[in-house]
Structure 1
Amino acid sequence: MRTLVLNAGYEPLAVVSFKRAVVLVMNAKATIIERVEGDPVWGAQGAVDRPAVILLTRYVRVPQSRRVPVTRRGVLRRDGNRCAYCGKGATTIDHVLPRSRGGADSWENLVACCLKCNNLKGDRTPAEMRWDLRYAPRPPHGTQWTVRGTERADPRWEPYLELAA
């Protein structure tokens, strides 16, 4: 079981394990906002409800430059596992401006690509192939990318994640 952690200003911070959430609640560092129905957790100081969403009692400052690192898996996820050139299922990634011509490993230069299009394109640009990109590649945004662990979001978290969007 996973628990969403909100900052004192109701900003989503992370998703932590159930054990970590209970420790934060029992140490009075967080309060339970959303509970899970069922058996409470018993401790030395009494019973605590099972937390689904907790709110920290003190504000934690988060660095603004929380950039999402570029990964193969991230590029495929951002593009919905669809080829940027033909729209079929993508299994590889492609540099729009090839690395041999100075293309960087950045969100703006990488797209999801099917194996056929990737092999046909080779070391050329889409303009040289007379191909059009189906979308302009951009860095991902939103709470699903900046809040660690929300890839498999619990339905109870949705109202709290929408506040941050």
Structure 2
Amino acid sequence: MSQKVLVLNQDYSALTICSMPKAFLLVYLNKAELIAESTSEKLHSIHQTFPYPSVIRLNRYVYFPYKGVVLSRQNIFKRDGNQCQYCGSGDHLTLDHVIPKSRQGRTSWDNLITACKYCNSKKGHMTPEEAGMRLLRQPFKPSFVMFLRNFSGILNQQWLPFVGSKTEPIY
């Protein structure tokens, strides 16, 4: 029962991902409707069988003023695939400011990357160009839907009509 469920707002926009028990409860209490269900699993009680939710839609619109991805260490690691953006290593990971803080580099999505301890100390207080190091990928701020789709670690095929495929751009 560790499967996750995509929750859509009343206007069918992706809102969040929740646990299956919470999604089932929302549907059972008529606070949400079932949009897509698992074809391979069912929920059973003593007397009834219920569909196993995969996508649900809330019956009331939920105003969600900030629909962005929180800047955190774990989210930077997810965005960068848990690998150093200089050498590709997955060991001893830290965060690195592309433009060092000592040179007024900001703590932002566009300036933070995942780096291993070796590359981070080799770069030191220099820019990657000054240190003779190349970035594997430029840092960027992911959109909320992009983060749900690409970096949450969960992508159910039934979610694709609502969050798009990994190759589709997000506007």
User: Percent of aligned positions with the same letter in both sequences?
Assistant: 34
Query: Whose RCO is larger (CA < 8 A, sep 6+)?
Result: 1
Give the aligned partner of residue 34 of structure 1. 36
Aligned residue number for residue 80 of structure 2? 79
Q: Is the 8 A contact 1:25 1:32 kept in 2?
A: yes
5+ residue gaps, structure 1: none
Letter in 2 for 1:138: F
**Aligned mates of 2:134, 2:42 — CA distance in 1:** 56
Calculate the TM-score normalised by the size of structure 2: 0.75
User: Match of 1:74, as an amino acid?
Assistant: N
- The worse-fitting range, judged by mean Cα deviation, of 51-60 and 30-39 is 30-39
Structure 2 runs not aligned, ≥5 long: none
SS of 1:103's partner is coil
Q: With the length of structure 1 as denominator, give the TM-score of the two structures.
A: 0.77
The match for 1:2 is: 4
Q: Secondary structure at the match of 2:164?
A: helix
Cα pair distance change 1:144/1:136, threshold 3 Å: closer
Contact 2:42 2:52 in 1 (8 A): yes
Matches within 5 A, 1:6-85: 6-36=8-38, 37-42=40-45, 48-63=50-65, 65-85=66-86
Superposition deviation, residue 110 in structure 1: 0.9
The SS at the match of 2:27 is helix
User: Which residue of structure 2 aligns with residue 158 of structure 1?
Assistant: 160
RMSD value over aligned CA atoms? Answer: 3.0
In 2: Cα distance, 1:83 partner to 1:15 partner: 28
